[in-house]
């Protein structure tokens, strides 16, 4: 039986993550993702996905190794300087990551290679963004955590604790999400015993597609249209009565609450009053859920991760062109974890296709 897009087909076994769409659960290496965001940093969760366990005594050394690889080598800066200004950021990432390929990246892939790429990606994004803005590049600081340093490099000032916590929660939640399209691309490339750089480049190319890595821009448009809590119910009612879709609600996998949205909301609830956009998002969600139950009863439409991601990006004043690259800077942890797992028990992916063309005789 043909399954278009391989939907529902189990192609491999994994210990990295589990998605339970019916119960609204996302598991990283046995741990509920909501609990991880409450207690652990980006670096600690990355360690978990790569090594299979939470760090203990070696966390300090692990963090130092990550920090030591943030600086871009001169040849990558030269490539960034020569890329045309109209080239989109995802294409830039694909090109620059590909240029990192060397004899250091051979089969089999290693955790050290994964750490290096994860450390470099925020620096590549920040360097390119400053170049486009005509501002001076802000060098990475080794006294800041991974997410705090990313925001610092982008803006040239230290972010607030609320901004760092919000973005860190988002980046932990988007590190990994099962056999999605980009992860599958990475594993297919790795299954040929190609190098880690080639596999990650495949994944970036897949993430670039709007059906996969599309930014939550439409949610931002909705929040901007509402603009203040007083307008919320009026705007939402009008959209529902016009049979318009409320952006940021509903998910093709989760049939109940998206656990990533729940975790983001829990982080934002701790910061009520610290940012007007985060406060507005919380109010809009509450109102929208109430109205959706009235206008679309039984549909089970709940907030998805893009809704609160949009609020966070707006609150930290991140340009929409950086949304998908930032998603990529987190998902690279999951990609490389899958590449490593693929290499441990490798079988090349070789599905079949059914020919539906004609058979023509030329006699």
State residue 268's pLDDT score: 72
Radius of gyration of the chain (CA): 21
State residue 263's pLDDT score: 81
Nearest to 118 by CA among 151, 150, 144, 87: 150
Nearest to 271 by CA among 315, 233, 305: 315
Residue with tokens 């028990």: 345
- Cβ neighbours for 258, distance < 8 A, ≥ 6 positions apart: 24, 251, 302, 303, 304, 305
Other Cβ atoms less than 10 A from the Cβ of 166: the count is: 28
- Crossing angle for the helix pair 146-155 and 111-133, to the nearest 10 degrees: 20
Report how far residue 228's alpha carbon sits from residue 284's, in angstroms, rounded to the nearest whole number.
9
- Residues of the chain short of pLDDT 50, as ranges, are none
State residue 130's pLDDT score: 96
What is 33-210+321-344's CATH number, 3.30.460.10, 3.40.350.10, 3.50.50.60, 1.10.580.10?
A: 1.10.580.10
Instruction: Give yes or no for a contact between 127 and 72, defined as CB atoms under 8 angstroms apart.
Output: yes
Token pair of 37 as six digits: 């965001």
The residue extents of the domains of the chain are 33-210+321-344, 217-315
Report how far residue 251's alpha carbon sits from residue 352's, in angstroms, rounded to the nearest whole number.
30
State residue 256's pLDDT score: 65
Adjacent-strand bridge partners of 157: none
Residue with tokens 């950086």: 322
Among positive and negative, which fits the CA dihedral 44, 50, 54, 59? negative
Please name the residue ranges forming H helices in the chain. 33-39, 42-51, 59-67, 74-82, 89-99, 111-133, 146-155, 161-173, 181-191, 196-207, 210-213, 217-226, 232-241, 259-269, 276-295, 305-315, 323-344
State residue 363's pLDDT score: 78
Token pair of 15 as six digits: 């210990």
The phi-psi region of residue 250 (left if phi > 0; otherwise alpha if psi is between -120 and 50; otherwise beta) is: left
State residue 147's pLDDT score: 97
Nearest to 248 by CA among 290, 224, 216, 226: 216
State residue 273's pLDDT score: 67
Residue 304: Cβ-neighbour burial (10 angstroms; 0-12, 13-18, 19+): buried
φ, ψ at 281 (rounded to 5°): -60, -40
Catalytic residues: 251, 306
H or E, element range at 348: none
Question: Cα–chain-centroid distance for residue 57?
Answer: 28
State residue 312's pLDDT score: 80
CATH top class, domain 217-315? mainly alpha
- Distances in Å between the alpha carbon of 232 and those of 173, 243, 297? 27, 17, 20
Token pair of 228 as six digits: 């203040």
Report how far residue 61's alpha carbon sits from residue 306's, in angstroms, rounded to the nearest whole number.
34
State residue 252's pLDDT score: 62
Entry pTM? 0.88
- Crossing angle for the helix pair 111-133 and 323-344, to the nearest 10 degrees: 160
Q: What is the DSSP string of 236-266?
A: HHHHHHTT---TTB--SS-SS--HHHHHHHH
Report how far residue 171's alpha carbon sits from residue 303's, in angstroms, rounded to the nearest whole number.
18
Report how far residue 235's alpha carbon sits from residue 223's, in angstroms, rounded to the nearest whole number.
10
State residue 24's pLDDT score: 79
State residue 83's pLDDT score: 96
């Amino acid at each position: 039986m043909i399954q278009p897009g391989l939907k529902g087909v189990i192609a491999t076994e994994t210990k990295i993550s589990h998605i339970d769409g019916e119960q609204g659960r996302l598991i990283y290496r046995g741990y509920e993702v909501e609990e991880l965001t409450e207690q652990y940093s980006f670096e600690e969760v990355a360690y978990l996905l790569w090594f299979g366990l939470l760090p203990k005594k070696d966390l300090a050394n692990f963090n130092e190794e990550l920090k030591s690889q943030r600086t871009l080598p001169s040849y990558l800066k030269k490539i960034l300087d020569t890329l045309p200004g109209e080239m989109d950021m995802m294409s830039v990432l694909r090109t620059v990551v590909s240029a990192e390929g060397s004899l250091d990246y051979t089969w089999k892939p290693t955790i050290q290679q994964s750490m290096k790429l994860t450390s470099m990606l925020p620096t590549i994004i920040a360097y390119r963004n400053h170049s486009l803005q005509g501002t001076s590049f802000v060098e990475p600081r080794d006294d800041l955590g991974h997410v705090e340093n990313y925001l610092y490099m982008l803006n040239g000032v230290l972010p607030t604790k609320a901004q760092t916590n919000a973005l860190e929660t988002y980046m932990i939640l988007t590190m990994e999400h099962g056999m999605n399209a980009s992860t599958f691309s990475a594993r297919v490339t790795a299954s040929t015993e190609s190098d880690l750089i080639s596999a990650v480049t495949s994944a970036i190319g897949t993430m670039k597609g709007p059906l996969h890595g599309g930014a939550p821009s439409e949610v931002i448009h909705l929040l901007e249209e509402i603009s203040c809590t007083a307008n919320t119910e009026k705007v939402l009612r009008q959209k529902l009565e016009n049979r318009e879709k409320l952006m940021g609600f509903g998910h093709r996998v989760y049939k109940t609450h998206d656990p990533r949205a729940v975790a983001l909301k829990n982080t934002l609830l701790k910061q009520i009053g610290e940012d007007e956009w985060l406060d507005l998002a919380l109010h809009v969600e509450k109102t929208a859920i109430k109205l959706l139950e009235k206008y679309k009863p039984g549909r089970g439409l709940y907030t998805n991760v893009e809704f609160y991601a949009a609020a966070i990006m707006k609150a930290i004043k991140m340009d929409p062109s950086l949304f998908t690259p930032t998603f990529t800077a987190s998902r690279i942890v999951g990609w490389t974890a899958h590449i490593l797992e693929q290499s441990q028990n490798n079988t090349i992916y070789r599905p079949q296709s059914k020919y539906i063309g004609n058979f023509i005789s030329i006699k």
